[in-house]
Structure 1
Amino acid sequence: MSFCEEVRKETDVYWEGSFHHPFVKGIVDGTLPIEKFKYYMLQDAYYLKHYTKILAIAASKAETNEDITYFIQSAQFINESELELHRTVFKELNVTQQEIDSFEPAPAAYNYISHMYNAAHNGDVAEAFAAMFPCPWLYQEIGEKYKDAQPGVKLYKEWIEMYSHPDFKEKIEFQKSMMDRYAVENPKKIQLFKAHFHKSCYFEWKFWEMAWTLETFDSEVTHYDYV
């Protein structure tokens, strides 16, 4: 099996957990409370902002013109998408400027971004990509799995359509070939690549859980009565 085939099989528990998470299923059948989706989109905007920066770090470490171009263009595309997010989806969700200004990342989002920064700063371009790749790949599989869903909610339908689009699948196939190439070129780092990939798959599942429970740092604290 190729690297991507192996690592996809090894992390299947997280993928299945994502496919059937009540947050994802709520988007698919249209029952997800809109406030949970709003919370998710605010956290996702934070994620995308830093994902863009991590792509730029990867570009600075890439060694071929093809890879440099890929990471720079990807960073530009996501940065433009984030701006569009503020203009359209945030407006539809009635996100206020005060909410944007007072935003704080949830623990799961913060930890996920920290994990990817660690891989990008302390590793090479291949390590950075191993940590970044689960996100788009998972979303493409979710889109493919639920492409025929009719949630009856405009924002949810558009979300599914975005990730089920054939152009997005084509991008993921290209990214698979990149990851497999990095694995072939760096056989001694296979286990490290897998470790980064596994952690990101876990954090992808945690991202749904975070949005479903409206996680905050305060919600992580257990209160005791001290004598």
Structure 2
Amino acid sequence: MRFTDQLWQQIKPIYEAILAHGFVRDLGAGTLPATHFQYYIQQDALYLTDFSRALAQLAVKADTPADILLLTQFAENAIRVERVLHETYFSLYAIQPDTRKKPACFAYTQFLLATASVQSLAVGAAAVLPCFWIYREVGKHIYAHAARQNPYQAWIDTYAGEAFDEVVTQMLDLTDRLASEASPAEREKMAEAFQTSSRLEWLFWNDAYTLNQWPV
């Protein structure tokens, strides 16, 4: 069993909770209120900017030109997706940009940036992996079960497509290779980081579903 397969087994209850979450369920059914989707896209745009920064930090830590190039491309792609959100989805779904991170987005991005900064490349890779992997699986799940004439079909198609699937496969291969070179203690840290990010993925969906705001 690959190391990433072990990671997935570890977070299977979290992933199942994500699939059962009202946001994901209603998004697939096409019944998610527009205000909730707008909140989500606003926060996702803010998230992707810091996600790109975390990937760029990992690229600096990479030892080989191939890994530097791969992680740099991932960082660039995150910014490209963020621009697509602004240029396409913001207009398509009548969304106004937001400049303030809500609680889950703030917690998630700070965790990724801190992990990429102070932990090893292997641990950092495990921390960013859920954003790749869980989104692919959720995207495929929603695509397979989405209602016809779904108002959010443009978003669904992005994460269920072949291009994104290939990117996720590359990230999985990188994480497995780094794990094979890591010590048992480092692999334990990788598993912990992967689990934390997976939990934060659930919180990100949940914030959008509840329209969560800072209490004060």
Does the pair score TM above 0.5? yes
2:64 is aligned to: 64
Q: Does 1:44 align with 2:44?
A: yes
Query: Partner letter of residue 171 of structure 1?
Result: V
Deviation at residue 152 of structure 1 after TM alignment: 2.4
Q: Say which SS state the counterpart of residue 143 (structure 2) adopts.
A: coil
1:122 aligns with 2:115: no
Measure how far apart 1:151 and its partner are.
4.8
Task: Please name the residue that 1:22 is paired with.
Answer: 22
Distance, in Å, in 1 between the alignment partners of 2:142 and 2:206 is: 19
Q: Is the 8 A contact 2:24 2:142 kept in 1?
A: no
Q: Write out per-residue CA displacement over residues 122-153 of structure 1, whole angstroms, 9 at most, x where no aligned residue.
A: 01221111100001100111122232323523
- Alignment-mate amino acid for residue 39 of structure 1: Y
Q: Which stretch shows the higher mean deviation, 142-151 or 61-70?
A: 142-151
Does structure 1 conserve the Cα–Cα contact (< 8 Å) formed by 2:108 and 2:200?
yes
Match of 2:180 in 1: 184
Matching residue of 2:190: 193
Give the Å deviation of 1:204.
0.4
Instruction: Give the Cα–Cα distance (whole angstroms) in 2 for the partners of residues 37 and 95 of structure 1.
Output: 9
Which residue pairs with 2:162 in the alignment? 166
Per-residue CA deviations over 1:154-203 (Å, capped at 9, x if unaligned) read: 3x111111111122222222211111111100033110000100000000
Alpha-carbon spacing, 1:158–1:204, altered in 2? closer, same or farther (3 Å): same
- In structure 1, the residue matched to 2:211 is 214
1:79-128 alpha-carbon deviations (Å, 9 max, x no partner) = 122122111111123234xx53xx32111111111111111110122111
Percent of pairs with identical residues: 31
Output the CA distance in 2 between the equivalents of 1:163 and 1:81.
11
2-structure distance, mates of 1:157, 1:142: 14
Write out per-residue CA displacement over residues 41-91 of structure 1, whole angstroms, 9 at most, x where no aligned residue: 000001001001111111111111111001111111221221221111111
One-letter code aligned to 1:20: A
Tell whether the 8 Å contact from 1:3 to 1:180 is kept in structure 2 after alignment: yes
Segments of 5+ residues of structure 1 without an aligned counterpart are: 222-227
Is residue 27–residue 151 contact of structure 1 (8 Å, CA) maintained in 2? no
Q: What is the TM-score normalised by the length of structure 1?
A: 0.90
Contact kept, 8 Å, 2:28 with 2:143, in 1: the verdict is: no
CA distance change for structure 1 residues 191 and 117 in 2, over 3 Å: closer, same or farther? same
Distance 2:176 2:77 in 1: 23
Alignment length (residue pairs): 214
Match of 2:76 in 1: 76
> For residues 86 and 92 of structure 1, what CA distance do their matches in structure 2 show?
10
Give the drift of 1:213: 0.5
Q: Distance between the aligned counterparts of 1:123 and 1:5, measured in 2?
A: 22
Q: Which residue of 2 aligns with 1:142?
A: 138
Residues 123 and 190, structure 2, Cα contact 8 Å, conserved in 1? yes
Counterpart Cα distance in 2 of 1:2 and 1:144: 22
TM-score by length of 2: 0.94
Q: Write the distance in 2 (CA, Å) between the matches of 1:95 and 1:160.
A: 17
Letter in 2 for 1:193: M
Unaligned runs of 5+ in 2: none
Q: Rg bigger for which structure? A: 1
- Given that 1:28 and 1:151 are in contact with CA atoms closer than 8 Å, whether structure 2 keeps it comes out as no
